[in-house]
Amino acid sequence: MDQFIVEGGFPLSGEITPTGNKNEALPVLATAILTREPVIFHNIPNIMDIQSMLELLESLGVQVTRTGAHTVKLHAQSISSNTPLFHQASLIRGSFLLAGPMLARYGSVHLPGPGGDTIGVRPVSTHLLALKNLGTEIELTGEGSYRMFTQGLKGADIYLDEASVTSTENTIMAAVTAQGNTTIYNAACEPHVQGICHCLNAMGAKILGIGSNTLFIEGVSHLHGCEYTIMPDHIEVGSFIGLAAVTRGELLIRNAGVKHLRMILMMFEKMGVECEIQDDDLFVSKNQKMEIRSDPFEGVAKIDDAPWPAFPSDLLSIMTVVATQCSGTVLIFEKMFESRLFWVDKLISMGAKIILCDPHRVVVTGPSPLVSAPLYSPDIRAGMALLIAALGAKGKSVMQNIHQIDRGYERIDERLQKLGAHIQRTQQV
């Protein structure tokens, strides 16, 4: 197992470019199943979750060819199996995104329960209800896997009981070649959901309402190949803003996908961190106020998450670390996942002043000088947050379980070294 040795206390400065959006790339790769023609996808991040998805597609009979560092050609001329590699599928949540396209193309699929980050209960009931409405029969096996089959998907009016990103994506992929029309109400509309819709339309699908909570899909008889580019990862951009703020560095974030950053930038401004927009680049200066702006009538400031276009849950861990370096008090309110804040004990051990009120809320008072500590990465986002804390702390920290960070951030140690980070990847003893 690899680990990071991090010596903190050095400002990180320079230029950095975000990789492609992981949460867009995973469902976009799954769309290859829907056509017999080749598809070419650009700006695919070279991370562990993507490699797992490519291996799952190969196990179903999809031909996978890497034609560049971030370009993949997929050709699903024939599907040879309805069961992907079970062990691999159980490691990532994105594996459940195979359900919709496999039902549409092959008529059946056998999947384990999805894996991924341990941040709370993440049921698949919304997926199952939507797929049933489209004409899918589902059996839950004694081993906890799902056997799904259909005699032919048919369009339907579907109201999702929660605005789940992956449920929306699965429903879209199942519906685009279903017979008749489908309307999805209470659909998620995150940038990555918009991305898969644009990709499918490029393949010949007919999807209207993109970017809204209601999607209208006219089923088509077949999809054709396409060439499509994944958008920048707005979560990675937010991570880099937090990195610059905590280390008191100066970063130019190239190709930041500025149009999807409005709420993210607003919340950083509440923390006293302002960014300058330069076309599609973002400049974070080293001269930040780092003062938490109180709510009206001197109420305690609050950073909370909600479905898009509100602040994304995946950045709350980053904001918690930023708050430790800001003057003032802020309530971090995680409404979507009941275990996402359980990593803050590690931040407290570094000197942060944090009160864990309950599974959903922490109160942070700063600024607090951070010191090095033994660290363990519990999930992708908390892992990156702790890495940022270690880079801003005094002393040398050892971070274990870094494969969690590798699942979502490509070669993060090498990229940060170019900014002046003192970070080394070594074998865990």
Catalytic positions: 117
Encoded amino acid at 154, one letter: K
- What does the CA dihedral 95, 200, 381, 414 come to, rounded to 10 degrees? 100
Q: Contact, 108 vs 83, CB < 8 A?
A: no
**Which residue's structure tokens are 């974030």?**
253
Tell me the C-alpha distance between 308 and 306, whole Å. 6
Encoded amino acid at 76, one letter: A
Q: Contact, 221 vs 178, CB < 8 A?
A: no
Angle, alpha carbons 198-203-206 (nearest 5°): 65
Tell me the C-alpha distance between 389 and 325, whole Å. 10
Q: Where are the alpha helices (DSSP H) in 229-280?
A: 234-247, 262-270
**Chain centroid, CA 199 distance in Å:** 18
In Å, the largest CA–CA distance within the chain is 64
Tell me the C-alpha distance between 212 and 222, whole Å. 25
Cα atoms in the Cβ-side hemisphere of radius 13 Å centred on 228: 26
